[in-house]
Amino acid sequence: MNILEVKDLRKTFATQTAVDQLSFELEQGSIFGLLGPNGAGKTTLIRMITGIFYPESGSITFEGRPFAALKDSIRIGYMPEERGLYKKMKIGEQAIYLAQLKGLSRQEATRRVKDWFARFEMQSWWNKKVEDLSKGMGQKLQFVTTVLHEPKLIILDEPFSGLDPVNSNLIKEEIYSLAKKGASIIFSTHRMEQVEEICDHIILMNRGKKILDGTVSGVKQEFKENEFRITLDSPAVIDPDTNIFQVLESDDTHFRVQISKGFRPNDVLRYFIDRGHGITSFTEILPSLNDIFIKLVEGTPNARQFHRI
Amino acid sequence: MSKIWLITRREYLTRVRNKTFLLSTFLFPLVIILFIVGSVLISTQTHTRQRIAVIDANGYFKDYLKSDSSISFDFTPGLDTLNYAKHGCTAVMIIPVLPEGQRTIYRLKYKTQLSLAGRGDLEHRVDEAIVDHMIYEKTTISRGRLDSLRNTSHIAELATFEDNGKTARASNQGMSFAVGYVSGILIYLLTFIYGAMVMRGVMEEKTNRIAEVVVSSVKPFQLMMGKITGIGAVGLTQFLMWIVLVVGLAVAAQGFVSAETWKEVQEVQQASQMGNASAAGHVSDAANRIYAINSAVDSANLGVVVVLFFFYFIGGYLFYSALFAAVGSAVNEDPQEAQSLMMPITLPVIFSFFIMTAAVQDPGGPLAVWASIVPFSSPIVMMARIPFGIPTTVAWWQLGLSMLLLILGFLGTVWMAGRIYRTGILMYGKKPTWKTMWKWAFRAS
């Protein structure tokens, strides 16, 4: 079942179209990556899904019904990219307050905050103020306030920025366990390695439009360039006239090759076997998401942050 | 509705629990009192002593011009326009021969300028000296008789009453003036203090990006209204504490007055009701003073003033704080931006203040009347007029219209601010102009 269906969504601001006829579906319990360069329209899209903006046209269906911002807000948790907390407010109070705004009773909110604080080992922070927290601690608190009301749909914008590896893992584990319990997660980020690791499904946006939609492995298959890495037990000299593959890189026993159109990996293996070489390894090289995205958005004005590092 | 309540509660509690709240609650009246006492002291102390050298061609002014502590006259022969300063005089007055039945100019040359009141005083003394001289010259009355007549003629004292149809209430211009002035200043200051507090709160939410988290749970309008009502409640709390403080001090002060004196106070009261102030001439000074304070407080009609003060404080606060919230939502981190966008809001408040200072002098004048009806200035100006009496100085229709317009006015500004706010609170980057904010407010949603 799809928890969220977005159809032909459109939103324009005075000077530009921020989201342009965008459609996608989100399956319950899945982790969904929303990717795109700055200014691609991700934040606008998220703000429409969270009910902050009204779409100009198109429809949002949430749990099978048309999305009603006020009624559904308790079923959605949103953690914006720019973290927002009241600096002067005590942490425990603050978490309870934000949960109450979502519609929890005070008792229920208090119980859950205590629960989460125990799980994240934050009990001793209760009476501290946000301004006394480090960035990473603030991040953890923000995550707790986002998921406290047990939303069915959780939207996380760059949830790992500023976190050390230990806390990153803590949050990652929580994301997995929330998804296992049936929550669906939209995950917006620039960090491709995290997307590859966490997400089931991704879409890529650029300039308000969806330019890619699929599972992580599906996308990689779609954009693979038929490159393989082959290791032999003895040095080999490649016949320059062969039309089965092209050699991209080589030293005596290691080769990176690209298989030409009309041939299969078996043809490559046969080529080396026929010449009496022993093959110790043969692996397909799939493009990284980073490579794919650079390829797709390169040349457009917003592609700056995807330059190869 | 319950979400507005939650937000109100948070805004209220975080501020009231803050130590600066208690501190400012007790410091503010202190500052106001110091300000008023200081300005009174300065205005009385700056009354400089004038010593005026007189060069008189008529020869009789020496006998009639009366010196006292504020102006004294020096008739030493040999004083002239060149050496008067050397003899310790602040000015020299040259009176030529004054022929009868003809206006003649006499001159004053000074080093230290006379105040406006000082000038009137001097003219009055010169006129009186001429009249005295004429009476003495043209009639057979003796100098001693003339002087004693003058001294015993101060026997009439004016008491004013406000005509309320069947009853008349003793009024006291000075007290009405003071209460009106203080009420006007208070509303003026509170509008700015709490308006700025709302604006800073909104800016904080915007720059902290907490607004984005909160508006995914509640409507932007609820967030804005919660903030406005929460801070308004802080203001009311503060104001109630001031009232308790003042009443407490008054009760404590009364405790120090002996029962004897209270009895005398009652005597004075009865005597004055019978219209004979001198009948109670034997009572102590303290009793007289307490009676004066009591009757002044009575005449200012404090009950009505306090009730209406609450109304105009709340109305004016809602009217302006909504606009301050709109500005806060539009600007980014830079407080400089807020300054320039605040101008169109602060100007009417400052204008109202100036109109108020005129209104306490002439509470029935057309400027005061209209400024007390228009919602931009009515909270400040109307509060300056009310102590002068309802329905005498402030007609019922004026009060009714003013209150109605203020309610409509704040509904209007809240509505408009809500529309600016919901766009502005999530808008980062370029500073908006009033034109773009106008567009946010009035475009179709």
Would you call B213 an interface residue with chain A, using a CB distance cutoff of 8 Å? yes
Q: Which of B23, B40, B20, B29 is nearest to B246 (CA)?
A: B29
pLDDT value at A4 more than 50: yes
A85/B210 Cβ within 8 A: yes
- What's the burial of A248, exposed, middle or buried (CB within 10 Å: 0-12/13-18/19+)? middle
Q: Does B333 touch chain A (CB under 8 A)?
A: no
Residues of chain A positioned with their CB less than 8 A from the CB of B445:
54
Chain centre distance of CA B393: 17
**pLDDT at residue number B411:** 94
Q: CB distance A50–B211 less than 8 Å?
A: no
Q: Are strands B50-56 and A245-251 parallel, antiparallel or unpaired?
A: unpaired
ipTM of the modeled complex = 0.78
The whole model's pTM is what?
A: 0.77
Residues in contact with B181: Cβ distance below 8 Å, sequence separation at least 6, in sequence order = B356, B357, B360, B384
Put simply, whether B6 touches A (Cβ < 8 Å) is: yes
- Contact between chains at B210 and A101 (C-beta distance less than 8 A): no
CB contact under 8 A, B216 and A145: no
Chains A, B: CB contacts within 8 A come to: 59
- What band does A309 get if pLDDT is binned at 50, 70 and 90? very low
Compute the nearest-CA separation of B4 from chain A (Å): 9
Q: Which one of B3, B210, B445 has the shortest CB-CB distance to A86?
A: B210
Residues A216 and A202: beta-carbon distance below 8 Å = yes
A12-31: average pLDDT: 85
Residue B438 CA to residue B420 CA, distance in Å, equals 8
Closest to A112 in 3D by CA, of A85, A147, A138: A147
pLDDT computed for residue B275 by the predictor: 57
Q: How many CB atoms lie within 10 A of CB B10?
A: 20
Residue in A210, A204, A206 with CA at minimum distance from that of residue A300: A206
From B412's Cα to the closest Cα of chain A, the distance in A is 24
Among candidates B6, B204, B216 on the partner chain, residue whose Cβ is nearest the Cβ of A100 = B6
Nearest to B208 among A54, A87, A97 (CB): A87
Q: Which of B6, B209, B426 sits opposite A52 (nearest CB)?
A: B426
Q: Is B213 in contact with A78 (Cβ distance < 8 A)?
A: yes
| B-chain residues near A16 (CB < 8 A) | none
Which of B 372-431 lie inside 8 A of A, CB atoms? Answer: 426
Reported residue count of chain A is: 309
Residues A91-132 have pLDDT tens digits of 999 999 999 998 889 999 999 999 999 988 888 888 888 888
Window 19-38 of B: residues touching A by CB (8 A cutoff) are: none
Q: What is the 3-state secondary structure (H, E, C) of A19-36?
A: EEEEEEEEECCCEEEEEC
Which alpha helices (DSSP H) does chain A contain, by range?
42-49, 69-72, 91-102, 106-119, 135-147, 165-180, 192-198, 216-223, 265-274, 289-297
Residue A201, classed as helix, strand or coil, is strand
B14/A contact by beta carbon, under 8 A: yes
3-class state of residue B333 by DSSP: coil
Task: Answer whether A84 sits within 8 Å of B10, measured CB to CB.
Answer: no
The answer to whether B64 and B27 have CB atoms below 8 angstroms apart is no
| Cβ contacts of A76 within 8 Å, gap of 6 or more | A49, A50, A51, A151, A152, A153, A154, A155, B216
Q: Which amino acid is at A32?
A: F
Q: What is the pLDDT of residues A246-291, one digit of tens each?
A: 888 888 888 888 888 888 888 888 888 888 888 899 998 888 888 8
Residue A156: closest CA among chain B residues belongs to which residue? B213
Low-confidence ranges of chain B (pLDDT < 50): 279-280
Q: Measure the CA–CA gap between A275 and A264, rounded to whole angstroms.
A: 18
C-beta pairs of A251-257 under 8 Å, 24+ apart in sequence: A254/A229, A254/A230, A255/A229, A255/A230, A255/A231, A256/A227, A256/A228, A256/A229, A256/A285, A257/A227, A257/A228, A257/A230
Residue of B204, B206, B213, B425 to mutate for A, most A C-beta atoms under 10 A: B213
Cβ of B216 within 8 Å of Cβ of A85? The answer is no
Q: Do A101 and B14 count as a contact with CB atoms less than 8 A apart? A: no
Residue of B nearest to A145 (CA): B213
How many Cβ atoms from other residues are within 10 Å of residue B129's Cβ? 21
The A-side interface with B (CB below 8 A) comprises 47, 50-52, 54, 70, 73, 76, 78-80, 82-89, 97-98, 100-103, 145
Report the residue from B204, B214, B426 with minimal CB separation from A101: B214
Contact between chains at B426 and A47 (C-beta distance less than 8 A): yes
The sign one gets for the Cα dihedral A145, A148, A149, A153 is positive
Average pLDDT over residues A202-229: 87
Q: Which amino acid is at B187?
A: I
Contacts of A34 (CB under 8 A, 6+ apart): A42, A45, A46, A186, A187, A188, A202, A203, A205
Q: How far apart are CA B384 and CA B371, in angstroms?
A: 11
- Sign (positive or negative) of CA dihedral A243, A245, A250, A253: negative
Distance in Å, alpha carbon of A182 to nearest chain B alpha carbon: 22
CB B314 within 8 A of CB B188: no
Return d(Cα B215, Cα B230) in angstroms, integer.
17
The answer to whether the CB atoms of A84 and B210 lie below 8 A apart is: yes
The whole-angstrom separation of Cα B418 and Cα B221 is 5
Q: Is residue A47 within 8 Å of residue A56, measured between CB atoms?
A: no
* Residue to substitute from B217, B425, B427, B430, interface A, most A β-carbons within 10 A: B217
pLDDT score at B1? 52
In the structure encoding, which two tokens stand for residue A257, read together? 């090759």
Radius of gyration of the CA atoms of chain A, in A? 24
Task: Indicate yes or no: CB of B14 within 8 angstroms of CB of A88.
Answer: yes
Cα distances from A281 to residues A151, A238, B167, in angstroms, run 47, 17, 113
- What b/e sequence results for B141-151 when a residue is b if at least 16 CB atoms lie within 10 Å of its CB, and e otherwise? eeeeeeeeeee
**Residue A99 distance to chain B (closest CA, Å):** 9
- Residue identified by tokens 């799939």 is A286
- Which residue in A has a C-alpha nearest to residue B428's C-alpha? A82
Model confidence band, residue A305 (pLDDT cutoffs 50, 70, 90): very low
Rounded to a whole number, what is the distance in Å from the CA of A69 to chain B's nearest CA?
A: 8
